Chains A and B, each alone.
Chain A
């Protein structure tokens, strides 16, 4: 795409994208650390993860300021407008993902007094959710709508993993009431991961809107794929 006649506008858009990607990087790391802190029962790592959420929040504010400035000064249209609208949504999703990761780390701190005997498939789920976040950030970085569609499709697998883990934890609780506290903490952690994956999906949906102009939120996968291939739905 050619550059704007006003070069400063290009610089501002690049800078904003860079900032969102740095925020995404911090979120990705926070998820990994939060899950690791639980699996290793690592108090220090959990505390560090909670503390680092402040940096994610600060980046959200910074992105919002830049977005507001661009709206006022440049009055973006077409692709630029979709990009700015997308950023407003993406930043909110990333901030929520940061909060949910901090929530997992808080779960670790609570679990120290009630250590779980087993972590069910938390490790697998953590890795898969991290992969989802990594994919959505890569898709966003490259404007890759195919990869974004993959993220959207794979979210169902995360839902399945969560339900499986929840059922397993329920069994532990029924079998031994002493496991109830630990299992509830773990089940909340799994719920947070499942919601993080939902936010990753939101980001991919917004990317498709930014790149292609199609709003595929609340549309099933098949219809979304048809929309992207140019078919009427």
Chain B
């Protein structure tokens, strides 16, 4: 039985006068990987960014509808956005480690949120996060070298370690492998498969093969509408909607 982690109800979003999402209803299940797919401009990244309120910073952007995280409205006036982002972490397309040491990249957020007390507690927290992000073995002897000196794939895993260091419930990923080579991509995909035991993962990807490989559920968006949402196996073998079929078989536009 899948428990709903994030529940989106009739979500509409405008950038100025332009409506980018036209009333989206979707539920993301706990500890499952959901892939959001669709052509550029379909609203998938916009939706992803609503989930940790990154759109708040965009001038002229407003939303209607509800996004519930464990039943609580994340757009309620009393919600502290900084706290929200510890619960809903994000990994971006381009790896973006801070220009600090590997250790500091991971320790930074737990420190400002007061998640570790003594130095040894912090050491343990950093090690655990790096281990869970499958990068510990590669960096354990150079924790105090700059994170930016790592390879692209390692940087992305460092960013994942940084995200999970604050124990989020949900991890958002916006095309996390699009800047990586196939081997680094495979490592991230393997990692996602591990991470779903503990986290709910929602990922935007342009690679249909990637969505098919690693997601449990797939949502197809087109021009601001959710066209179809279902089990990945079904979406990729027997989609219900013709638009989905056309998109995933490469018959679009």
Contacts and interface: CB of A to CB of B under 8 A. Distances in A.
Given A2-B246, A75-B209, A78-B245, A213 B238 contact: yes
A77 B212 contact: yes
Nearest to B209: A75
The prevalent SS among residues of A at the interface is: loop
Contacts, number: 42
A82 interface: yes
Contacts of A82: 237-238
Nearest to A76: B249
B251 A77 contact: no
A11 to B, nearest CB: 14
Q: Which interface class (under 10, 10 to 19, 20 to 34, 35 or more) fits A?
A: 10 to 19
A5 B251 contact: yes
Given A82-B238, A213-B237, A4 B251 contact: yes
B188 to A, nearest CB: 20
B125 interface: no
A6 interface: yes
Interface of A: 1-6, 9, 74-82, 213
Given A5-B251, A77-B212, A77-B248, 9 more contacts: A3-B251, A4-B249, A4-B251, A5-B252, A74-B250, A76-B249, A78-B244, A79-B249, A213-B238
19 contacts: A1-B246, A1-B251, A2-B246, A2-B251, A2-B252, A4-B249, A4-B250, A4-B251, A74-B250, A76-B249, A77-B236, A78-B236, A78-B237, A78-B238, A78-B248, A80-B249, A81-B236, A82-B237, A213-B238
Interface of B: 208-209, 212, 235-239, 244-246, 248-253
